Structure 1
């Protein structure tokens, strides 16, 4: 009897040991600390980003290899745009950095527009100097964190300039005593300056040159601290997500609301420019069909354009396709109506827009118009 009890206890001990070893084997090993704090969070967010973007699209698009790869490209574009900002944006030592465009093709950039942005520190005083040059127009808007109102904006053409086109603009929350030059009041919440440089006569106009500096603190840029650099890294996942996810399903929303080959106005809210109006439509065409866009033209309008996008709201490549037309490229007909023809192949008529194989979105804008 005694021997049997010992044997039973021995088996129980072995069984408990086996369970304990099995439980330890199933436990995940502790993750080593990140060699660069903040880096692992970026990598993990990027790992799931394409899946989260595709989840906003209907099943036929999610399973389309073409759309899948274009979503991957859009994710890279958002990563590149926001990484450039994380590396170079500094409100104390600002510079106008590329934000979106033909390569960083996020949020349907306008084919005629160069987009730049400069970080600023709320409460700071800045000076912008440069040459106005000859573009259709160039405008700077203030980016206000948490602001629901329209962004304050200023056109370079409204600034005083010498005979060579040189200008100087001071920006601050309050006008300095005795200062009588061009001055622009900064909103207390302004953290960014957004520059749009818009052309209409390609090959004939010259873009402005601008330099910005903060003037209310000593010169000299010290080495950024580890804390500052880590903050920039940790802000990247949210910034990339915001840009990548913002418009990826916008075309599909137009379709679901019934705006197929039919325009609706688009209110971009606080992000819009004063005096600029936007209209958009999803288009759907067979290979042998054409869509004729007809619009009245305002009596007075400094700029207008029509561009095309693909299904995830990237602007159709206008460098290599005839996929955009502006006020100096498409004139109204004799009856005063503007007519533009959207087709997969050149129909042999004026004002043709090439779809480049897409069936997606038309985007029309009018700027500084009246009548």
Structure 2
């Protein structure tokens, strides 16, 4: 199409708009407060309430940077809500990437890709995909669109389903047991999350060319889709509002799991239990340990320990909103393939504002405080406690 055709099309669209304007005005006059308009106001209200909450004592935000990052995480959660929940139809599901270098929330991971699809427990589904060289692959049913939901339901990992010699697989998600790869449908399931972990020297999320084939389809036949009406669009906006309200959160003593340390620069012993299964978007196969770091300008935190026998493990630095620091241009995480071990197989990692001139440096970006987060996946035996020491680099 050349420039003249484009101009003609633009002129025609303007003409159509002029011709339709009187009838549209009449409709608007008869229905000034549509469901979609009310839902959009509710979303705006939720955003305004969160903005006001950032100044409350519960959030404990103190600096200009704290408030800026609070607004950033709000927008990242809103971004995923719009991408995943706005157009969601459980009878026509689709997988949406949960996180990437520029969409971070809920404890994202440089060494993993996550996908999310909206479903419901009244349907059955077929998931098709390829392992794509992953260290670990799993699927988890989520029982709520927000963190106030009922946690997680059924989980199926790659030790429990079969793939062919090329890594291809199919999984049926249904309430009735199926032959072959079967993920039992949990009552109340509202979405499904896939996890694809990699232990590589180059974190998988810095490999933009790596593709993980994955798809999902509903096994029930449905009538052809019709154009979304006012109610349909309102329901989509309401789902986005629910997701935003449930996932822009602050951690406090009341909602912190047992594996979260309240003491800066010290970890609680990693314990294998089911405490995180009540948390929506948690991973059943992981054991976690988390602690805040607080460091002066010339201080560093040394962490000594030993990786257990497990499928995957890494340590990641977060800001206070559980967003990874900049892993594109800095080393803010280390998996086992990236960690330099001592002669006895143990490790010594160092969290510092500047290069300490020794292996296993985790870069704070100069932040005086943040979060250190450990994952140990399907560990065998006990996990050795993490020993910490604050040292001076002056």
Q: Give TM-score, length-normalised by structure 1.
A: 0.80
Distance in 2 (alpha carbons) for counterparts of 1:291 and 1:251:
26
Distance in 2 (alpha carbons) for counterparts of 1:331 and 1:150:
35
Deviation at 1:323, TM superposition (A): 0.5
Q: What 5-or-longer segments of structure 1 have no aligned partner?
A: 1-31
Deviation at 1:106, TM superposition (A): 1.7
Instruction: Say if 2:348 is the partner of 1:339.
Output: yes
Instruction: Say if 2:279 is the partner of 1:275.
Output: no
Distance in 2 (alpha carbons) for counterparts of 1:253 and 1:169:
32
Alignment of 1:294-333 (within 5 A): 294-298=304-308, 300-333=309-342
Greater CA drift, 341-350 or 266-275:
266-275
Q: 1:5 is matched with which residue?
A: none
Matched position secondary structure for 1:45: helix
Deviation at 1:311, TM superposition (A): 3.0
Deviation at 1:274, TM superposition (A): 3.0
Q: What 5-or-longer segments of structure 2 have no aligned partner?
A: 1-31, 205-209, 382-394
Q: 2:174 is matched with which residue?
A: 172
Q: Deviations over 1:247-267 (max 9, x none)?
A: 49999999x974111012584
Deviation at 1:126, TM superposition (A): 0.7
Distance in 2 (alpha carbons) for counterparts of 1:148 and 1:252:
16
Deviation at 1:221, TM superposition (A): 3.0
Distance in 1 (alpha carbons) for counterparts of 2:376 and 2:50:
34
Matched position secondary structure for 2:314: strand
Deviation at 1:68, TM superposition (A): 1.7
Distance in 2 (alpha carbons) for counterparts of 1:283 and 1:204:
23
8 A contact 1:131–1:209 mirrored in 2: yes
Distance in 1 (alpha carbons) for counterparts of 2:348 and 2:80:
35
Q: 1:106 is matched with which residue?
A: 105
Matched position secondary structure for 1:237: helix
Q: 1:214 is matched with which residue?
A: 218
8 A contact 2:250–2:321 mirrored in 1: no
Q: 1:224 is matched with which residue?
A: 228
Q: 2:265 is matched with which residue?
A: 261
Distance 1:193 1:312, change over 3 A: closer
Greater CA drift, 260-269 or 335-344:
260-269
Instruction: Say if 2:40 is the partner of 1:50.
Output: no
8 A contact 2:92–2:217 mirrored in 1: yes
Q: 2:182 is matched with which residue?
A: 183
Distance 1:109 1:217, change over 3 A: same
Distance 1:347 1:117, change over 3 A: same
Q: 2:153 is matched with which residue?
A: 151
Q: 2:207 is matched with which residue?
A: none
Distance in 1 (alpha carbons) for counterparts of 2:348 and 2:55:
35
Q: What is the number of equivalent residue pairs in this alignment?
A: 333
Deviation at 1:149, TM superposition (A): 6.7
Q: Which of 340, 350, 357 is the aligned partner of 1:348?
A: 357
Alignment of 1:127-138 (within 5 A): 127-138=126-137
Superposition RMSD in Å? 3.0
8 A contact 1:251–1:312 mirrored in 2: no
Instruction: Say if 2:82 is the partner of 1:83.
Output: yes
Distance 1:189 1:227, change over 3 A: same
Q: Based on CA coordinates, which of the two structures has the bigger radius of gyration?
A: 1
Deviation at 1:285, TM superposition (A): 1.4
Q: Deviations over 1:260-294 (max 9, x none)?
A: 11012584342333331111111111222211111
Distance 1:74 1:329, change over 3 A: same
8 A contact 1:56–1:248 mirrored in 2: no
Distance in 1 (alpha carbons) for counterparts of 2:130 and 2:39:
41
Q: 1:29 is matched with which residue?
A: none
